[in-house]
Amino acid sequence: MDAAELVRDADKAVAARDFARAVSLLEQAAAISPADGTLWMRIAAIRRGTGDASAALDAVHKVLAIAPRDFTALLMRASLLQKLELPGAGEAWGHALAQKPERDLPEQLTPVIAEAEEKYAEWQTKKEAALKERMADAEQQASEEERKRIHRFRSNAVRRTRPYHSEPTDFQFPELTEREFHPRRMFPWLEKLEAATEEVTAELRAVMAAERAELVPYVQFEEHVPMDQWRPLNRNPDWTAIHLVQHGRVNGANARHCPRTMALLEGLPQPDIPGASPNAMFSLLAPKTRIPPHVGISNTRLVCHLPLIVPEGCWFRVGAETRLWKTGEAFVFDDTMEHEAANPSDELRVVFICDVWHPDISPTERAAVAALISSSAAAGQGL
């Protein structure tokens, strides 16, 4: 008798409620077709249905030996661990959710997934509280910056967050410190920039009112270029920029209205790379607009934001950290780490943006970086 015949007989046994015979027949079929995990899943379902959770768990483990990332099997495993009150149930829910397919799933899995999310969140909260208690003595002695890193370490450990890394699209300089948002202490000029918020905002309004002001879409590329993540915003007026300096060239039509802003830029450690940098602009994000997750071109530079006009609810995420923009509160981040932004309000959001050297880059290295990137820029590859 082949496996298919055994399965048909097993179906008849289930219909007759002879579950022991059904399991025996399916086990025989599994012996003939050892790579078919669906047979063990059927055995697990019968075992669970008849109240033998332990035997069902054994069957699920046989499925996972064949297909370790099987989403349905992982869900059943977590459910059985929970039912048997065995350790590891909470984390098992997380293992299952990590393998959740992107495609639409059968409707009958909806309540199971909801239970998985609830149980896993409960486990994370309990685990995090326990870890926080164990780490309390060290955390009490930590500085604000150290506490932030300790908190992230703990958050990563319970999988509330995950590590993000610098992934520039074009230019990756080795051994630079990876930070989503860099500490303020490294950029003493931020206070001077923030103090000029009102002046910079006044100049923004002046350039926006000017007849010759050049307002261009932030994203512009040829339609044939394979950049699908940007396609909805390509040449789209929902995300525009007023450039003061672009790829190292001053935009006179705009810059002439912004003398104070241009003077502030002179005091910043901006990369001087012919054809690529420095860059400085006013970034305008229309109401109800979202910028998709993306990464920048080179990790040799960082990006500074000075929020000027910020309606309520506008947010910005770099890696695992999400911040609300606040008028006059500047920050520096690594744009080669995945980031995204949104303006969910009914009003325009405007941020002043400029680039600065990564502080780990030495003067000698800056010269080498400038030589390489300027050469690429001359060939049509910008920063």
The secondary structure of the chain, three-state, reads: CCHHHHHHHHHHHHHCCCHHHHHHHHHHHHHHCCCCHHHHHHHHHHHHHCCCHHHHHHHHHHHHHHCCCCHHHHHHHHHHHHHCCCCCHHHHHHHHHHCCCCCCCCHHHHHHHHHHHHHHHHHHHHHHHHHHHHHHHHHHCCCHHHHHHHHHHHHHHCCCCCCCCCCCCCECCCCCCCCCEECHHHCCCHHHHHHCHHHHHHHHHHHHHCCCCCCEECCCCCCCCCCHHHHHHCCCCCEEEEEEEECCEECHHHHCCCHHHHHHHHCCCCCCECCCECCEEEEEECCCEEEEEECCCECCEEEEEEEEECCCCCEEEECCEEEECCCCCCEEECCCCCEEEEECCCCCEEEEEEEEECCCCCHHHHHHHHHHHHHHHHCCCCC
pLDDT at residue 383 in the model: 46
CATH entry 3.40.50.1450 includes domain 3-122: no
Mean of the per-residue pLDDT values for the chain? Answer: 92
Digit-coded pLDDT (tens) for 169-213? 999 999 999 999 999 999 999 999 999 999 999 999 999 988 655
Top-confidence residue, 81 or 219: 81
Digit-coded pLDDT (tens) for 278-317? 999 999 999 999 999 999 999 999 999 999 999 999 999 9
List, by residue range, all CATH 1.25.40.10 domains of the chain.
3-122
pLDDT at residue 257 in the model: 95
Q: What is the mean pLDDT of residues 338-361?
A: 97
Note the pTM of the prediction, 2 decimals: 0.83
Digit-coded pLDDT (tens) for 91-146? 999 999 999 998 888 888 899 999 999 999 999 999 999 999 999 999 999 999 99
Q: Tell me which CATH code domain 181-378 carries.
A: 2.60.120.330
Digit-coded pLDDT (tens) for 30-83? 999 999 999 999 999 999 999 999 999 999 999 999 999 999 999 999 999 999
